[in-house]
Amino acid sequence: MFAIARAAAPIKNATRMGVRAKHTLPSLSYGFGDLEPAISGQIMELHYTKHHQTYVNNLNAAEASLSEALAKGDAKAEISTLKAINFNGGGHVNHTLFWANLAPANQGGGELGSGPLKEAIERDFGSLEELKTKFNAQLAGIQGSGWGWLGLDKNSGKLAITTTANQDPLLSHIPLIGIDAWEHAFYLQYLNDKASYFKNIWNVINFEEAQKRLVAAK
Ligand SMILES: [Fe+2]
């Protein structure tokens, strides 16, 4: 209790002084090559250390520009940072969710065990196979870059499949599963055959993590 209070104090003080905590890459619970053959180690390494890192760096830079603009009361400069915050902030949020969303096949990846998520999927889609078919059809329909989502509609309590463009995060639903449909997520391995990427990624989806999000959202 006291240890927590002591640890929290510097954060409160930092916030009062306007010092922002910088965003950083989340740690992965598996190695880059552990999702093979669904996703190659080369893709995972580049995706995490280059693409996600760039979103983090650019988000930190955009937030620094916003802080400067706020300190100066420069509304025009504030507005000019918002697109970069949306794009890079979305990139950071989406990829953080994506990494946690994946698990090696020998650590439960691809397995939907019995529980509230399985029950909700069967209630709203009939079966996991039907969910995959509908989800992959929506992924295939994304024009350009974007994300496919299995989300929870908080109002109806039902699951829904939806997509967002570019790096827009899912705000209309609670995200349970997000699949990166950017070319950087598959091209080195699958080339133009993105349908195979969408098919194979289900073998490394961490349904246990998705179920935790579902339970926490209720
Ligand atoms: Fe990505």
Mean pLDDT of 44-51: 98
Report how far ligand 1's centroid is from the alpha carbon of 4 (Å).
35
Rounded Cα–Cα distance for residues 136 and 140 (Å): 6
pLDDT above 90 covers a percentage of the chain that reads 90
State the pLDDT confidence band at 18, using cuts at 50, 70 and 90.
low
Asked if residue 141 is part of any domain, the answer here is: yes
Asked if residue 29 is part of any domain, the answer here is: no
Report how far ligand 1's centroid is from the alpha carbon of 133 (Å).
22
What is the model's pLDDT at position 111?
Answer: 98
Pick the residue with more confidence: 84 or 3?
A: 84
Report how far ligand 1's centroid is from the alpha carbon of 9 (Å).
35
Asked if residue 59 is part of any domain, the answer here is: no
Over residues 61-103, the pLDDT tens digits come to 999 999 999 999 999 999 999 999 999 999 999 999 999 999 9
Asked if residue 13 is part of any domain, the answer here is: no
State residue 182 phi and psi, 5-degree precision.
-75, 150
**18: phi > 0 → left, psi -120 to 50 → alpha, else beta; which?**
left
Asked if the model's pLDDT at residue 9 lies above 50, the reply is no
Structural domains of the chain, count: 1
Tokens found for residue 69: 């603009």
Asked if residue 75 is part of any domain, the answer here is: no
Residues within the annotated binding site? 47, 95, 180, 184
Asked if the model's pLDDT at residue 170 lies above 80, the reply is yes
Q: What is the mean pLDDT of the chain?
A: 92
* Residues facing 22 on adjacent strands: none
Residues within the annotated binding site for Mn(2+)? 47, 95, 180, 184
State the pLDDT confidence band at 193, using cuts at 50, 70 and 90.
very high
> Domain with 162 in it: what CATH number?
3.55.40.20
Q: Domain span at residue 136?
A: 105-217
Over residues 121-168, the pLDDT tens digits come to 999 999 999 999 999 999 999 999 999 999 999 999 999 999 999 999
Coil/strand/helix, residue 26: coil
Report how far ligand 1's centroid is from the alpha carbon of 180 (Å).
6
| Stated pTM of the model | 0.90
Asked if the model's pLDDT at residue 182 lies above 70, the reply is yes
Report how far ligand 1's centroid is from the alpha carbon of 102 (Å).
13
